[in-house]
C-alpha cells in the first residue's frame, strides 16, 4: 500500500493522471494479515430474537397474537384513516369473528324444518366467498390493494355486526313483540352503518377515484346480507 501512495504522485506538479491509475501496481506483501473477524453490529441482537420466539413460552406467543388482534379490533371500532390493518394484516380476527357469527346464527339441529335459518356452513361460505368476491372485484377494477389485505379489512369490519348479533340474542331472551323487533332493527341498522363506514375508511383510498362507488357497492351488499341474516334470526 506504500507503493500505491508513492505512485499516485503529487497532483500539483505532474500532469493530471486518471484516478486510481496506480492501482494495478499494488502488490500485497506477505506480512499484511488479511484474516480476522467481520462483525455485523446487529448480529447478536438478531440471534437473540431468533431464539426468543422459539424458546418463549406458549403463553407469550398467544398473547402477542391476541394483542395484535385486539389492537385491530380497536381500529375497527374507532375507524380513523390509519393503515395498521393494511400493513400487518392477519386472518385470525376474521376467522374468530366468522366462527362466532356462524355458531350463533345456525339453526339448531332439533329443528329439521326445510326452510329455517342458515346452516353453519352456509354462513361460513357466505362470509368467506363474499369477501373473496369483493376482493377480486376491487382488484379487477384496478385497485392497488393486495388480496389478503382486503380480506383482512373485510373480515375485521364484521366486528360491529357480531356485536349486534350478541345484543340481538340478549334482546330475544325478553318477551317477543313489536318493541323487541324495533330495538333489534335499530341496533342492526346502527351496526351495519358502522361496518360500512369502517371498511370504507380503509378500502376507499386504494381505488381509482372514478371507480370508488363501483368498488364500495359490493361491500354494502355484503354487509346488508349479513345484517339481514342477523335480523331474521329466530331462536327455535
Partner 1 sequence: MAAADELAFHEFEEASNLVAETPDAATASGSDQLTPQGHVAVVVDSGGSYGAEEEAEESDRTALLQEEKQQPGFWTFGYYQSFFDVDTSQVLDRIRGSLLPRPGHNFVRHHLRNRPDLYGPFWICATLAFVLAVTGNLTLVLAQRRDPSIHYSPQFHKVTVAGVTIYCYVWLVPLALWGFLRWRKGVRERMGPYTFLETVCVYGYSLFVFIPTVVLWLIPVPWLQWLFGALALALSAATLVFTLWPVVREDTRLVAAVLLSTVVLLHALLAVGCKFYFFRPLPLEHLAPPLQASSLPPKLLLPPTPRAKAT
232 binds partner 1 (CB under 8 A): yes
Contact 96, 69 (CB under 8 A): yes
Nearest distance in Å: CB 53, partner 1? 35
Tell me: does residue 175 bind partner 1 (CB under 8 A).
no
Residue 231 Cβ vs partner 1, minimum distance, rounded to whole Å: 9
For 83, phi and psi rounded to 5 degrees?
A: -115, 40
Least Cβ distance, residue 21 to partner 1 (angstroms): 50
* Among 83, 213, 217, 219, CA closest to 157: 219
Is residue 38 within the footprint of partner 1 (CB under 8 A)? no
- Residues near 156 by Cβ (< 8 Å), separated by ≥ 6? 72, 73, 75, 76, 85, 93, 94, 97
- The residue (of 99 and 231) whose beta carbon lies closer to partner 1 is 231
Find how far residue 19's CA is from the centre of its chain. Answer: 53
- Give min distance, CB of 102 to partner 1, in A: 13
Q: Determine the 3-state secondary structure of 6 from DSSP.
A: helix
Looking at the Cβ atoms of 5 and 213, the one nearer to partner 1 is: 213
Under rule CB under 8 A, residue 137 binds partner 1: yes
d(CA 49, CA 66): 20
Question: Which residue from 25, 190, 221, 235 is in contact with partner 1, where contact means CB under 8 A?
Answer: 221
DSSP class of 16: P
d(CA 158, CA 211) in angstroms, rounded, equals: 24
Say whether residue 129 binds partner 1 (CB under 8 A): no
Among 39-47, 95-103, 147-155, 221-229, the segment contacting partner 1 (CB under 8 A): 221-229
Q: Which residues bind partner 1 (CB under 8 A)?
A: 113-119, 122, 137, 139-142, 210-214, 217-218, 221, 224-225, 228-229, 232-234
Amino acid at each position: 500500500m506504500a507503493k500505491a501512495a508513492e505512485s499516485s504522485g503529487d497532483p500539483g506538479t505532474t500532469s493530471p493522471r486518471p484516478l486510481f491509475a496506480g492501482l494495478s501496481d499494488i502488490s500485497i506483501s506477505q506480512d499484511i494479515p488479511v484474516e480476522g473477524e467481520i462483525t455485523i453490529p446487529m448480529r447478536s441482537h438478531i440471534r437473540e430474537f431468533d431464539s426468543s420466539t422459539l424458546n418463549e413460552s406458549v403463553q407469550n406467543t398467544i398473547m402477542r397474537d391476541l394483542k395484535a388482534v385486539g389492537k385491530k379490533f380497536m381500529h375497527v371500532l374507532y375507524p380513523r384513516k390509519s393503515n395498521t390493518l393494511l400493513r400487518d394484516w392477519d386472518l385470525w380476527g376474521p376467522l374468530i369473528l366468522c366462527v362466532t357469527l356462524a355458531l350463533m346464527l345456525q339453526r339448531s339441529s332439533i329443528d329439521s324444518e326445510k326452510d329455517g335459518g342458515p346452516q353453519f356452513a352456509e354462513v361460513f361460505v357466505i362470509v368467506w366467498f363474499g369477501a373473496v368476491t369483493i376482493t377480486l372485484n376491487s382488484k379487477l377494477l384496478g385497485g392497488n390493494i393486495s388480496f389478503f389485505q382486503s380480506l383482512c379489512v373485510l373480515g375485521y369490519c364484521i366486528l360491529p355486526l357480531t356485536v349486534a348479533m350478541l345484543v340481538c340474542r340478549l334482546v330475544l331472551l325478553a318477551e317477543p313483540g313489536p318493541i323487541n323487533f324495533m330495538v333489534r332493527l335499530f341496533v342492526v341498522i346502527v351496526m351495519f352503518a358502522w361496518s360500512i363506514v369502517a371498511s370504507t375508511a380503509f378500502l376507499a383510498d386504494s381505488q381509482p377515484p372514478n371507480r370508488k362507488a363501483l368498488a364500495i357497492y359490493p361491500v354494502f351488499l355484503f354487509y346488508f346480507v349479513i345484517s339481514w341474516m342477523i335480523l331474521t334470526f329466530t331462536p327455535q
